[in-house]
Structure 1
Amino acid sequence: MGSGRRKAFLTRPWIITVLVVAVAGVGFGLYWFQPWKLWQDETVQEALPGAVVTSAPPTGQSGTPSPPTGPRTLAGGELISHEHATSGSVRLVELADGSHVVRLENLDTSNGPDLRVLLTDAPVTEGRGGWHVFDDGEYVSLGKLKGNKGSQNYVLPDDVDPARYTSVSIWCDRFDVSFGAAELARV
C-alpha cells in the first residue's frame, strides 16, 4: 500500500510542473545574476598606446627640444564607489596620431555580469542618487570591461568628440547601475 501512495504522488501533474518551474527558475537566476563572478577577479595590465620612452628629449633642427610627440592627457579624475566598492583613476588621453582613449589606471572593483565602460555627459554624484544616471543623457559605450582590476585602454570611435563628455562610469548594463564613476576634470 505504501508504494501505491508514492506512485500516485509522483504521477500528479502539478508536482512535476512545480519541479520543472523551480529548476528553470534557479537556472535562470544563476544565469542572470552570475553570483560566482563576485569571487572571480580578472586582472588586465595594458600599456598606454603610443607611449614613447627615450633617454633624452628629442631635439629639433635648431638643437632645441622638440615638443613631446607622445600621449597627452586632456582630462582625468578619481573613481568613486557606487553599487560596489570601486577605486582607481581615469584619464582621457589624446594619442600622437590624434585618436583618443579612455585609460583606467589601478582599477579595483567587483566583477559582475555585463560590465561596460561608458563615456557620459552625466554628473558624478556620490551615494544612491548617482547609481542610475549614466544612461539617462548622452553616452558612448566603449565596450565591455576587460578586467575588474588593473590598467586598461578603451578607444574612442573617430566620430566621438571627447569634449562633449564629462564623466566615465563602470556600468552594469544588465541591471542599469553604476559600479563606480569618475568626473573628468580638464587639464
Structure 2
Amino acid sequence: MKLNYLLILGAITLTCGCATQASLTQPQLQPTTASPVSSTPKQSIKSGTFVAGEHETTGGARIVRENGKYYLELDKTFKTSPSGPDLFVILHRSDDVLATTQPPVYPLKNGDYVVLARLQNYSGAQRYAIASNINLANYQSAAIWCRQFNATFGTAKLSVSLPKK
C-alpha cells in the first residue's frame, strides 16, 4: 500500500514539474539474513566423453568433489538407449571397457567394476554419489551397463581434469 502511494505521489509531482529528490526516493527495505553459501566450490577431478558400446551412448561424464564428497555427473547431453531392462551406472578399472573392435563388447568381470546406482534416466543431466570407501585412483572409466545381460551400452574414459586458469 505504501509503495502504491509513493508511485502515485511520484507520478503527480513529475507531471507538475515540481519533483524533488525526497519524493523520488525508494522506500527503505528491511535487511535480510543471507543463507549460508557452500563452503567448498565444486571441483572437477576426472572427465570424459561416452562412446557407444552395444547401444548408442553419447554425452559427457565427470567426477566432481563437493563438500568433501565425490559424485559422478552425467551432463545434459547424455543419452543412451532405453532398450536395457536393468541399466546401472558403474566405475570400471580399465580405461578400455570396450573391446578394440566393436562390436562385440566383452562382458564385465566381477572385481573389475563398482556399481554406483541404477540409471536414473536415459537422457539428461544426473548425479550419482560415490561411496567414501572407493579409491578413485583404481577406476579409469564410467560405463552404462545392463546387469541382466552383462552388456556395456557405452563407456567414458575418465582423464584427470586440468584446473581452469
TM-score normalised per structure 1: 0.59
Rg larger in structure: 2
Normalised to the residue count of structure 2, the TM-score between the two structures is: 0.67
Q: Secondary structure at the match of 1:150?
A: coil
Indicate conservation of the 8 Å contact 2:49/2:58, yes or no. yes
Out of 134, 137, 145, the residue aligned to residue 171 of structure 1 is 145
The residue correspondences of 1:31-180 to structure 2 (distance < 5 A) are 69-95=40-66, 97-105=67-75, 106-111=77-82, 112-124=84-96, 125=98, 127-129=102-104, 131-135=105-109, 137-180=111-154
Compared CA separation, residues 98 and 71, structure 1 to 2 (3 A): same
Once the 2 structures are TM-superposed, how far is the Cα of residue 152 of structure 1 from its aligned partner?
0.5
Deviation of 1:162 (Å): 1.3
Which sections of structure 1, spanning at least 5 residues, go unmatched?
A: 1-51, 54-67
CA deviations on 1:33-56 (whole Å, 9 max, x unpaired) are xxxxxxxxxxxxxxxxxxx79xxx
Unmatched segments (≥5 aa) in structure 2: 1-36
Aligned residues: 120
Paired with 2:87 and 2:113, the residues of 1 have a C-alpha distance of 15
| Deviation digits for residues 114-143 of structure 1 (CA, Å, limit 9, x no counterpart) | 1000111023235125x2254354211001
CA contact (8 A) 1:84 1:179 kept: yes
Give the Å deviation of 1:164: 1.3
Q: In the alignment, what sits opposite 1:6?
A: none
The structure in which a higher percent of residues are helix is: 1
